[in-house]
Amino acid sequence: MLGSLYSASSGLQQFQNKLDVIGNNIANANTTGFKSARTTFEDTFSQTLSGPEPSSDGTGTGPGAVQIGSGVATSGITNIFRQGMLNETGLNTDLGIKGEGFFIVRDALTGQEFATRAGDFTKDTAGYLITSDGYRLQGYSNAELTTRGDIRIDTTGMPATADPNAQIKSWNIDAYGKLHVHLSDGTSFVRGQVLLQNFTNPQALVKQGSSLYANLVDAGPLGGSTPLAEPPGSGGLGVIAQGVLEASNVDLSGEFANLITTQRAFQANARVITTSDEVLQELINLKR
């Protein structure tokens, strides 16, 4: 059987995978905090017809190896963690990161933590900042900024000089993640602080859907085997912008260019299969 059939077949399969990646990138062109992916290929095992021979005079000019490749394989699908554009929304609960880092959110039921660049949070009836799935934003959860836990907007930790009956008038999160609560009696205090996490090997993060990433420990987080998020603006982390959202970093023009070249490569491999089939047909016809 012609080896070109199998080589071209592997090409069809791998280029289909690349088309799937491109299609997913384009589909998420407007997904908040989405990071695009890129497919890379590698050649597979080569059949060696004859090995290299040493030169008789030691100059290294002897015949080289004669090899025929057996196709292509996907060597990796790499996530591109380039900063997306920050778009103003005007909503207090929308947060964006200028620079490096990820928000950490926690499933209140299981305790599992996830990383995300999507800052489209909302405030639930209990005052917690949550994702669309109900996962709570993490940081310092007390006014003294010593206890790590769920970020909550309420009057806990209000100054002793404040009116005990004072209500929350407004609140804001500054560039360094500190949650400032302003009360109806004119006093204000720091309720907590949003913390960020970063990774030495973000490619080890595993997408979980809903713009969330799991497998945090294997990705090399700050704090090592016991991940410990840090204040924005420290340790190489970016700062927080309130009232903005990070857009998808998908480059549509680049994706459409990749789509065209991938489509042509797919067609070329399909043509190789057609040609190989015609050659086999000619071989069969030799018996007539």
Calpha distance 140→157 (Å, rounded): 12
Determine contact, residues 248/31, Cβ cutoff 8 Å.
Answer: yes
Joined together, the tokens standing for residue 22 give 């491109």
**Torsion angle (degrees, nearest 10) of CA 173, 178, 179, 180:** -90
Joined together, the tokens standing for residue 285 give 């016809």
Calpha distance 277→67 (Å, rounded): 23
Q: Which residue has the higher pLDDT, 56 or 13?
A: 13
Considering the domain architecture, whether residues 265 and 207 belong to the same structural domain is answered as no
Provide the residue type at 36 as one letter: S
Considering the domain architecture, whether residues 94 and 116 belong to the same structural domain is answered as yes
Q: Give the number of residues written for the chain.
A: 288
Structural domain count, the chain = 2
Joined together, the tokens standing for residue 226 give 């016991």
Joined together, the tokens standing for residue 286 give 């030799």
Considering the domain architecture, whether residues 118 and 176 belong to the same structural domain is answered as yes
Considering the domain architecture, whether residues 197 and 264 belong to the same structural domain is answered as no
Helices (H) and strands (E) in the chain, counts: 2, 20
Instruction: Give the side-chain half-sphere CA count within 13 A for 96.
Output: 22
Which residues, listed in sequence order, are joined to residue 196 by a DSSP beta bridge?
Answer: 103, 230
pLDDT-derived band at 60, boundaries 50, 70, 90: low
Predicted model pTM: 0.87
Considering the domain architecture, whether residues 46 and 121 belong to the same structural domain is answered as no
Considering the domain architecture, whether residues 71 and 94 belong to the same structural domain is answered as no
Give the contacts of 274 (CB within 8 A, at least 6 positions apart): none
Q: Which residue has the tokens 């900063």?
A: 83
For residue 170, what are the CA distances in angstroms to 70, 245, 260? 66, 20, 51
Considering the domain architecture, whether residues 161 and 194 belong to the same structural domain is answered as yes
Joined together, the tokens standing for residue 263 give 């489509």
Residue span of the structural domain in which 74 resides: 3-81+250-285
Q: What is the mean pLDDT of residues 47-76?
A: 75
Sign of the C-alpha dihedral, residues 273, 279, 280, 285?
Answer: positive
Considering the domain architecture, whether residues 75 and 96 belong to the same structural domain is answered as no
Determine contact, residues 95/119, Cβ cutoff 8 Å.
Answer: yes
**Nearest Cα to Cα of residue 39 among 24, 56, 52, 50:** 24
Considering the domain architecture, whether residues 52 and 171 belong to the same structural domain is answered as no
DSSP structural state of residue 20: H
44 exposure class (CB count in 10 Å sphere: 0-12, 13-18, 19+) = middle
For residue 116, what are the CA distances in angstroms to 3, 121, 213? 45, 11, 6
Residue range 175-209, pLDDT digits in tens: 999 999 999 999 999 999 999 999 999 999 999 99
Q: What is the mean pLDDT of residues 23-28?
A: 97
Considering the domain architecture, whether residues 92 and 188 belong to the same structural domain is answered as yes
Considering the domain architecture, whether residues 40 and 138 belong to the same structural domain is answered as no
Residue range 219-261, pLDDT digits in tens: 999 988 888 999 999 989 999 999 999 999 999 999 999 999 9
Q: Is residue 133 scored above 90 in pLDDT?
A: yes
Considering the domain architecture, whether residues 72 and 113 belong to the same structural domain is answered as no
